[in-house]
Structure formats: C-alpha cells, structure tokens
Structure 1
Amino acid sequence: MATGWTYQKLIDDKMTVTAYCHHAPCNHHQALDLKALAKRFGPDAPAMEWDIRPKLKCRKCGGKSVGLIYSPDTSPRNFSPNWR
C-alpha cells in the first residue's frame, strides 16, 4: 500500500492544493484541478509535493520555481443556525 496522498485521497478529503510562483514580481497562484490531474495521471497516482512540483510551471511567467500549499476543507460541518 502506498503511503502519502493520492489524487483521489485529496479529492475524497476535500483538500485544496494551491501552486504559488516564487518568481518575483510574478507571484501568481492558482488552485490545482485535482479531478483533471486524477484523470490525467490516474486516481491512485502519488500526489505528494515532491511528486507534483517537478511537473509544474507557472502559467503566467513560465517559471519552474513553484511551491505548493495543501489546505483542508474548513467549511463548517453540521452547522446549525440555532446554536447558542
């Protein structure tokens, strides 16, 4: 069994992966389309930072100095507007 994230695991866990260009003055950022990546590379393909980052380049400036931020879904669960 593989350790770490796969594209499907990220999707199932409602994670967001955002790529950031480190090339100044660009500093472009964009959330990755995890469903499209899962379709392209397979849902069980490894999706750790060291797996994804070498495949990326900035859409705005073409730079390869890209960082990734993995963020969990922080939307409220079982929210009740009648809480006190």
Structure 2
Amino acid sequence: MGWTLQKLIDGRMSITAGCLDCHRHRNLDLAALRDRLGADAPAMEWDMRPRMKCAECGGRRITLTYTPDTSPKNLR
C-alpha cells in the first residue's frame, strides 16, 4: 500500500516536480489534484510521473521530490 493524495495532505507533505529538459521546478497543488483525481488517488512517484509533463516546455522527463513539513511544532 502506498501514499494517496489525501494521506500526503494530511501528513503535511509537499511534492516538487522538476523538468529534466528545461530545469524548471514547481510545487504541486495537492488539494487541486485531490479535487480533480479523488482523495484516494495513488500518489507514489511511479503512479504520478507518467501522467505529468512540464507546463513550460512540454517535456515528459519529470522528477518528483517528496518533502515532509519540517516547520517547528508547538514546543509548549
């Protein structure tokens, strides 16, 4: 079992897509993807990458970087 879009949102994760052709990067709007694909849509790299293309150059060689929320938690 893997990540779903809703699990990533609930876990405060983010995904950055990078184009290997034009070297641009963009943070994905996980809420918009969830609304379009459904909360249970698979969000593993191998599920998402084949569906993606660069908005700038149209390239399909995309990398995905998953990042946890590292902001300080309430320490009180």
Give the TM-score, by structure 2 length. 0.96
Q: Out of 5, 14, 39, which is 1:7 matched to?
A: 5
Alignment of 1:27-38 (within 5 A): 27-38=23-34
Name the counterpart of 2:57. 61
Alignment of 1:65-80 (within 5 A): 65-79=61-75
Unaligned regions of 5+ residues in structure 1, if any?
Answer: none
Looking at structure 2, the residues matched to 30 and 71 of structure 1 have their Cα atoms a distance apart, in angstroms, of 13
Q: How many residue pairs align between the two structures?
A: 76
Aligned residues: percent identity?
A: 58
Provide the aligned C-alpha RMSD in A: 0.9
Of structures 1 and 2, the larger Rg is shown by 1
Give the TM-score, by structure 1 length. 0.87
